């Protein structure tokens, strides 16, 4: 059988439970819950797009490893130093400009898909639909070819 504090025979426990509450009054609080306003859909889309860009660009890798912004190599025939954008010889390595450019191309392709989706809206003019569809196709093709 379980025993609780109310089942106790101790008179001191009963006095300590009820006496303070006979002259102490619980205050009346008029608290209002804060109103939660959700962000607009375009704000959420912009945050998701920026987060996607940072993830596919390798920003975390760049912060941790701190690779150089761009590489350089020396031409064996002329001895001239040329800039190199892609890091060769390391599969898991990248220059900063390489990550940012590839992330931009991925985002460009994604924005092209969004433009093609906007071209399907029935409330738009025909010229706007054609413009959005052609710009979306061009963006997807450029993003794919450059990646």
Residue-by-residue DSSP string for 69-109: SSEEEE-TTT--EEEE-SPPS-TT---HHHHHHHHHHHHHH
Please report whether residue 30 resides in a domain: no
Please report whether residue 76 resides in a domain: yes
Total domains, the chain: 1
pLDDT-derived band at 107 (thresholds 50, 70, 90) equals very high
In this predicted model, what pLDDT tens digit does every residue of 6-59 receive, in sequence order? 667 778 887 777 777 777 777 888 888 888 899 999 999 999 999 999 999 999
95 Cβ contact list (under 8 Å, min separation 6):
67, 68, 69, 70, 71, 84, 85, 86, 87
Residue 90: per-residue pLDDT:
85
Residue 10: per-residue pLDDT:
79
- Domain membership of residue 96 as a residue range: 41-146
Residue 49: per-residue pLDDT:
96
Residue 79: per-residue pLDDT:
87
pLDDT at position 80 over 90: yes
């Amino acid at each position: 059988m379980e025993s609780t504090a109310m089942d106790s025979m101790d008179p001191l426990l009963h006095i300590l439970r009820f006496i303070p509450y006979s002259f102490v009054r619980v205050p009346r609080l008029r608290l209002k819950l804060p109103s939660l306003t959700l962000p607009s859909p375009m704000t959420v889309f912009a945050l998701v797009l920026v987060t996607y860009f940072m993830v596919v660009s390798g920003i975390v890798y760049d912060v941790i490893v701190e690779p150089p912004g761009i590489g350089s190599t020396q031409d064996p025939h002329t001895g001239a130093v040329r800039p190199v954008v892609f890091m060769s010889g390391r599969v898991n390595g990248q220059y900063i400009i390489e990550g940012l450019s590839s992330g931009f191309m991925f985002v460009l392709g994604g924005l092209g898909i969004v433009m093609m989706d906007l071209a399907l809206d029935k409330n738009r003019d025909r010229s706007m639909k054609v413009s959005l569809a052609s710009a979306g196709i061009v963006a997807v093709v450029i993003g794919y070819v450059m990646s």
